[in-house]
Structure 1
Amino acid sequence: MANDRNCEAEVPEEDISGLLGYLQIKIVSNKEKIEALKPFKEEEKELPTIHRVPDVFHKMNELAYSPSVVAIGPLHGGKKVQKHLQAMEVEKLSYMHHLFERTENFEKTRHDCVAAMLKLESNARRCYADDVRLDFTLDEDDNPVDANCCTPEKFRSYLKEIDPIAANNFKFAAVEQDLLLLENQLPFFVLDKLFGLTVGRSPEYCSHGPSCYLPTGSHQEEKTEETADSDEEEKMELVLKNFKYSATELDLGGTKFVQGNKENIFDVKFTTHHSYFPFRRGGEFEIPPFTVNDWTELILRNLIAFEQSCPLMVKSYFTSHAFLMDRLINTAEDVKLLEKEEIICNKMGCREEVASLFNKLCKNIAIDSLYSTNHCLEVINFHKHRWPKFQVKLKRDYFSNPWTIISVAAAFVLFGLTLMQTIFAVPS
């Protein structure tokens, strides 16, 4: 009984209050840490649109994702700008001053821009997947410290008058490429605001905002037959598993490639021509034409990276197109065939480089939708028949070059002569 009473001895109130106070401090501290890890507040539901490209893609082609001349925005700019980009920081400030000088009141424009950027800072930060800092502050001379929002103007005729970079084709092309990178972007509403406060106040420029320089035409989200089908995922799996035909194999199997709609690169169609005679059956693969040049890989890689980063916001059109080209193009012969049919305009020169480009684009890519699922299934079903397979084998093994054609013809002639000799020899 005495031992039980000792176990039931009461803990002093001072110790209890101290323990509760310690636990309360820990709970509050941990709650603050958890809240700090949240990328957005509860009322902020917008998803980020500007992401860092994963390291695995950087290792495949570092130049396709990292700026080489100019850093725009906080991911590569700011106080920790890389050494090879520092030379352009002074030029960016020069661009900014020239831009302000074109307005009627230099000082008012400068302060209005800084005030507007401070007001938009929280919204701009939410556009980035990383926790970034945008330093829109003034130095002791009332100059903006961070000029990352002041991008080089795209009007070459004006640039030639104020900056030697425009007269240097290498640098100008490098700047244009840097402005296309996913990691090197600013939210459009930031540019729109700056445009209105600077160029919009000058009567010599267009007053409709930067949107007037965007491509015209509206993209309507139509509910296509692919998205309407409830078994779309099953169809896509069939395509990913079974669509393994190169362009030359399809051509040998009776599929003719034709140039498609020039206005829409994604308007791919496949049509089957039916006939009672198997050797007259064929297919027609309609693919819109496109140009392949030194910029193609950079543009496609960054568009695919954007689609992979924002799957809930954008559809995987460029990822789908890269997948289709990856399957159709395996060797330089496939590129040659598509060039012949005027589907590919090859400005790289080397066909092996074009084939290598498309063969590497879809590595480590997650394909969750295909815009050409049904047409790819039609290609698969058409080439499952015996005659297309026989056609491929016949053309590849016996009619692939002039020497095999001569050999086959000689064999047929020899067979015919032997048959005739046998027929005439029977009566005698």
Structure 2
Amino acid sequence: MENGDSVTIELQALLKKTPLIETKSFSIYKVPDQIRQSNVEAYTPMLVSIGPLHHDDPRLQKMEDYKLLYYKYFTQISNASLPELVSCVRKLEPRIRASYSEKINLTADEFVKMILVDSAFIIELFFRVKWKKDDVILSQPWLLIRIAYDLILLENQLPFFVLEELYNLAYALVVTNGGHEFSLMHLAVSFFSFILNNPPEPAHDSSILHFTDMIRCLYLKQPSCGRERKQMALSYGANELSEAGVKFIVNKPSASHGCILDMEFKNGTLRIPHIEVHDGTEIWLRNVVALEQCYYPYKHYISDYVRFIGQLIRTQKDAGVLIKAGIIDYMIGGGNDLSSVAKLFSDVRNNMVVTSTSVDYLQICDDMNAYYNHPWHSKMATLRRDYFTTPWTTVASIAGIVLLILTVIQTVCSLLQV
């Protein structure tokens, strides 16, 4: 009884001690281990740490001098004094801390200092790129590109609201170029333009969590389609579908958006938006998918896209079909191994947990499966696969058909002469 009482007392103490975790406030996460293990480097900053999750990484300390230099430039041209900037961050500190899913072991002063220096570095970097101010970073394109990739990693984020507050405070909307004001969003989109397929800038009142979320929003128009608790099941790859007569055409973006999800299958033609596949594609895809897994578990539209393309591209031949159609621009490492395209989408969708699928994708998969399985289309696919796979087999098949026709004609003529 005494033992039972002591356990009860200890458990009651735990109830008082254990903090309630408000998961709704989280927007910046450590990538779950089961996702991270497939490619650790795609989620880990290589040059610069932003925010607390990689703050003490010894590999990233070289960039601290660059950050301090940019912090100095930022404060020199800021309309707000340093005490005002510090006060701004200190006021937002609880909200900033609550944005991270991990416990942050920094004092209030250490945390405020880190947030201000990192924020100043980002804003100043955006300015210098926009107005092409040459310096030690901008004079080294490889360094700038690597920093840009680090800035879209899910684990390497600052909440967008703190960047925006400091930006507005420091420049008070007097940042002009020919009389035009530039928002922080405008500068960010301009900075990341080489990663993106030129999508439009989102509205200024868009609710952006951070840069990883911004990449998702830029690629994703506001989805109006519903979702169903079904798994996506495309039974055939692009090459098989092509053999059955399916045509693949680039679905050009409209003037209002550049959504990569705009696909349509109609009358045997699949229209897919253009996408550039280069060395950085896997980075942004992986991190956006990781964000959806953590923050958008019921609205994982980019994950739907990755799953669909992954099922469409299973082999080098499948990749070749989409590249030939101009749907994919392939620029991975300068090589010619098309299997890396298939591997990219296959790897990104590994360990992905999905709860539902866009009804648009489900319909496209059903329609394409039905198209392939139509008796005429399936026979045409078999004919192409068995007799027209290479130029030599095509020539041999045509020669055989011609020979058969001539034989039939000869036979008929012989019968008529009897």
Q: Same fold (TM over 0.5)?
A: yes
Tell me how far 1:292 sits from its aligned partner: 1.1
**Alignment match, 2:396:** 407
Scaled by the length of structure 1, the TM-score of the pair is: 0.78
Distance 1:323 1:76, change over 3 A: same
Tell me how far 1:338 sits from its aligned partner: 1.2
Which of the residues 140, 149, 152 maps onto 2:119? 149
1:64 aligns with 2:42: yes
**Alignment match, 1:322:** 306
Letter in 1 for 2:376: W
Tell me how far 1:56 sits from its aligned partner: 2.7
In structure 2, how many angstroms separate the alpha carbons of the residues matched to 1:301 and 1:358? 10
Distance 1:135 1:158, change over 3 A: farther
3-state SS in 2 of match to 1:257: strand
3-state SS in 1 of match to 2:276: strand
Distance 1:303 1:244, change over 3 A: same
8 Å contact 1:322–1:362 — kept in the other structure? yes
**Alignment match, 2:212:** none
**Alignment match, 1:39:** 21
3-state SS in 2 of match to 1:100: helix
Alignment of 1:9-408 (within 5 A): 26=10, 29-34=13-18, 36=19, 38-40=20-22, 46-77=24-55, 81-103=56-78, 109-133=81-105, 135-137=107-109, 144=113, 147-152=117-122, 153-157=125-129, 163-200=135-172, 209-213=183-187, 214=189, 215-218=200-203, 221=222, 223-224=224-225, 226-227=226-227, 232-233=228-229, 236-237=230-231, 239-240=232-233, 243-262=234-253, 263-272=258-267, 283-312=268-297, 315-348=299-332, 349=334, 350=336, 351-371=338-358, 372-408=361-397
In structure 2, how many angstroms separate the alpha carbons of the residues matched to 1:151 and 1:135? 21
Tell me how far 1:163 sits from its aligned partner: 4.2
In structure 2, how many angstroms separate the alpha carbons of the residues matched to 1:386 and 1:99? 68
How large is the RMSD of aligned CA atoms in angstroms?
Answer: 3.0
Query: Cα deviations across residues 244-300 of structure 1 (Å, max 9, x unaligned)?
Result: 21111111101111111323211100112xxxxxxxxxx111111111111111010
Letter in 1 for 2:305: H
8 Å contact 2:387–2:394 — kept in the other structure? yes
Letter in 2 for 1:148: D
3-state SS in 1 of match to 2:109: coil
In structure 2, how many angstroms separate the alpha carbons of the residues matched to 1:209 and 1:258? 36
8 Å contact 2:221–2:259 — kept in the other structure? no
Gaps of 5+ in 1: 1-15, 273-282
Letter in 1 for 2:317: E
Tell me how far 1:98 sits from its aligned partner: 1.4
Tell me how far 1:156 sits from its aligned partner: 3.3
In structure 2, how many angstroms separate the alpha carbons of the residues matched to 1:393 and 1:24? 71
In structure 2, how many angstroms separate the alpha carbons of the residues matched to 1:172 and 1:260? 32
Tell me how far 1:411 sits from its aligned partner: 2.6
Letter in 2 for 1:150: A
3-state SS in 1 of match to 2:31: coil
In structure 2, how many angstroms separate the alpha carbons of the residues matched to 1:264 and 1:66? 27
Q: How many residues align?
A: 374
**Alignment match, 1:276:** none
3-state SS in 1 of match to 2:21: coil
Distance 1:113 1:359, change over 3 A: same
8 Å contact 1:326–1:362 — kept in the other structure? yes
Distance 1:50 1:114, change over 3 A: same
Letter in 2 for 1:325: I
In structure 2, how many angstroms separate the alpha carbons of the residues matched to 1:157 and 1:414? 68
Scaled by the length of structure 2, the TM-score of the pair is: 0.80
Letter in 2 for 1:132: I
In terms of Rg, which structure is larger?
1
3-state SS in 2 of match to 1:137: helix
3-state SS in 2 of match to 1:149: helix
In structure 2, how many angstroms separate the alpha carbons of the residues matched to 1:210 and 1:104? 16
In structure 2, how many angstroms separate the alpha carbons of the residues matched to 1:53 and 1:104? 37
Distance 1:65 1:222, change over 3 A: closer
Distance 1:50 1:211, change over 3 A: same
